[in-house]
Amino acid sequence: MSYQVLVVDDDIAICEALERNLRLKGFAVQIANDGEEAISAVETTPPDLIVLDIGMPKIDGIQVTEYLRNRNHMMPICILSAQDEVADRVRGLEAGADDYLVKPFAFAELLARIKALLRRSQEGIIDTVEVGDFQLNQLGRVAEYAGVNLELTKIEFDLLAVLITHMGQVLSRYQLLELVWGYDFEVDSNVVDVFVGYLRKKMKIAGSDQAIHTVHGVGFVFRV
């Protein structure tokens, strides 16, 4: 099976290099040089995965990601960016991206991340999971508490799904990075803590008592 990858970057040289190397690895590749072209390409022929630069004219990568997620395009998105602060990564992931790779990067690392994202997207999942008053429709990607939609972003949903399906098991930050994002950030990253905070706020608004517990020095555990 040949996976279709959409590469989106306004840097022609980067597009050509990625297209050449991905084709050598057996991928079918489509190129877009700005956000408008990317959206048009996805709506015409949805790819299996998108490699998406942030800094582009017309519509940037964050806006493209938000647009696609709001229209229920759920293929994996790997963002490319020269911005390396945790806040920048959180912004990209919160918009709905699945991965975030800082420029400059080695093609071998990008390839490994693409393969991991595609592998995760093809894994079989149980349609509905119910734990206490929580209900996760994994195919529809809807999470509810006592019938109230939590209105989660893609990453928030994936994080909650991992915690619920590992209920009672303490998961370290590094395990969560691997299970939700498919790789590790730097050792001092607080990305997991940021997204756990987002989840807790939305669960509290829906009326849930605290179900995500912090195990100090270790990680987090879901208990109801």
Q: Is there a contact between 213 and 220 (Cβ–Cβ < 8 Å)?
A: yes
Q: What φ, ψ does residue 62 adopt, rounded to 5°?
A: -65, -45
- 96 is written with which tokens? 């709905």
**CATH 3.40.50.2300 domain residues, the chain:** 4-122
Ranges of H-type helices in 104-181: 107-122, 154-165, 173-176
The three-point CA angle 215-179-111 to 5° equals 140
pLDDT tens string 137-171: 876 788 999 889 999 988 899 899 999 988 889 99
Closest CA to 47 of 28, 65, 62, 69: 28
Confidence class of residue 187 from pLDDT cuts 50, 70 and 90? Answer: very low
| 88 residue type, one letter | D
CATH hierarchy code of domain 128-222? 1.10.10.10
- The pair of three-digit structure tokens given for residue 117, joined into one six-digit string: 């994202």
Q: Where does the chain hold its CATH 1.10.10.10 domain(s)?
A: 128-222
Q: Pick from 54, 50, 58: which is nearest to 75 by CA?
A: 50
Where are the alpha helices (H) located in the chain, listed in sequence order?
A: 12-24, 35-44, 61-70, 86-95, 107-122, 154-165, 173-176, 191-205
DSSP characters over 86-101? HHHHHHHHHHT-SEEE
| Cα separation, 69 vs 64, whole angstroms | 9
What are the pLDDT digits (tens) for 3-50? 999 999 999 999 999 999 999 999 999 999 999 999 999 999 999 999
- Cβ–Cβ < 8 Å for 36, 28: no
pLDDT at 125: 55
Residue 200: how many CB atoms within 10 A of its CB? 15
- How far is it, in rounded angstroms, from Cα 3 to Cα 26? 8
**Lowest-pLDDT range of 14-18, 31-35, 86-90, 203-207:** 86-90
Instruction: Report the CATH number of the 4-122 domain.
Output: 3.40.50.2300
